[in-house]
Structure 1
Amino acid sequence: MLAALERARATSLGKDPDAFERAVCALFETLGFVATHVGGNAAPDGFVDAPLGPLAYRALLECKTGQSNVIVSQLNVAEAAKYRDRYEADYCLLVGPGFAPRTTFASELQIHGVSAWTIDDLAAVFHAGFDPNRLRPLFGPGLVADVVEDAVWDAAHGEAKCIAAICEILESIAARQQRVALAAPPSEAPHLDVDAATLILDEHFSAGNSPARCTRADVEAASHGSAIPASAAPAGPTPNTNRSSSQPRSCPPEFFEGWSTLTLVPLGNARVTIPALPGNPPRTKRLEAARPETHHVRATALGLPREADVARSK
């Protein structure tokens, strides 16, 4: 995979545009796209399809090589969008080693609906492990260099990671409290609502000497999915926005299935199978208990994608 990035970087400088076009297509393949090289006259240099089922989209590629100064000086932004309708593309990308500064460049990108990518921009999302779904917001018109750093930061440290951590902590705390509640009848089991979860999470962070603090909004985001998932974004070009935007930020929808309250009911000697999240195998936890009864546990408040399977251990 790294070889594809290095080849794109090497071929971006020189006088072999065909080699650069093929290298860019190969690089997008490593990012999870189905790439097609076209080239020649009266056609785009290539296009990439995002294999996302009903959320699939297509982006055209216009590749420009530079010289030893790593700058593309001769630019025709309109050329990158010229074949949008013919190829039924949702986005148009202009790819080069770097772009010469000029006062009209940014406005031309907006006018023609083109996203300008340097090799360094592609390297940033490559190393961050972006896929077609996460890349889609970056394909809006404008200079990707203006927003890619924030996008990579969010992927590594932002809200999605925070929500995942909150769900994992609540899952662990709930499992522990279920053991504590074994001596009490179900009617006396405590409830975990948003306010209680906020206090519990703050106490958890404090006990670990972490400077992190959890707000009520954080827990509500984890429980209700109040932010718009990236996969629900409308098709078509939209302007790139930075982290200061007032628009809702993306949260992974797999964590947001049906929170109301969590009843910490007693469990018998039960095995709780937690369904697999994308990219992770199912996890099984054994909850030891003195009583043989097995009760159902409501797992939706744990941020799981669906009700957990609770079955009596054999």
Structure 2
Amino acid sequence: MTPVQPLLRATALVKTYQTRRSPLRRPSPPVVAVDQVTFDVWPGETLGLVGESGCGKSTLGRCLLRLTDISAGTLEFEGRDITKASLHALRPTRRRMQMVFQDPYASLNPRRRVGDLLAEPLRVHKLGTERQIADRVAELLTQVDLRPDHAQRYPHEFSGGQRQRIGIARALALEPRLIVADEPVSALDVSVQAQVINLMTDLRERLGLTYVFIAHDLSVVRHISSRVAVMYLGAIVEIGATDDIFGSPHHPYTQALLSAVPVTDPDRSKRRQRILLEGEIPNPSHRPSGCRFHSRCPYADDQCRAVSPPLAAAERGRLVACHKPL
């Protein structure tokens, strides 16, 4: 029996941006948006990627699809190294990895009908005649709970939730194996968020999809994800099964994030201790020595300030970057 291999494997990924020179023309230090990120994504799973705004989640998601060039490290998709693949060499791979963008208003061209937006990737890859493409567009709209006649409308004629469904349909057009969803419900109302999340869960089960789900809403991540990776200042500080992460966080930063999740039960809310992190998030271009979290960590000591902890196994299926995991 052939062993199952990761659908996507990222090894020591780094993405840096060079800032502008100072007025004195001294070279400015680069901003490290993604710093030595390593993880696997397995077929059929949903990997939730969480962290504060500005921690590098969206940049990492774009790197995984090669929408942004990678500064260092390796990226493999379906066992093939695509880290430095040219645009021409990437074209067949593009069909199997797609993205759902955060803003359903900005991600759709307002001058084109929905049918043309969904048909464009099929025409680019020459997948069928015009009649076959029209049938596929109708099928895609039905898959996301819209009507085939919606293909004749423009994006401004839809609500935010419907536009995001169109974005999902466009991502499904080429029958991908991997979808990176960059905060796909953050711009939607709470009731609509639940509908879109349930739709994505249903599509994953029916079509055998694999998701990398980027979000800052931990309640949404807990509902849809099978594993969770926690990012801080460009690096993953903890990764493990969803129930393990939410039930027993090992990294102090993960613990602080989870303590901020609202609880509907008033009695539980009163008993729970809210952890407030002191200090500012460090500048990515001047990252502190040692552990990147030590300036805000209530448990930091001299070792934390001097030595950067590696992302290592704390228990089976759990990796933590901390000298003293909780």
Same fold (TM over 0.5): no
Q: TM-score, normalised by structure 2?
A: 0.25
Select the structure that is richer in helix.
Answer: 1
As a proportion of its length, which structure holds more strand?
Answer: 2
TM-score of the two chains, using structure 1 as the length reference: 0.25
Largest Rg, 1 or 2? 1
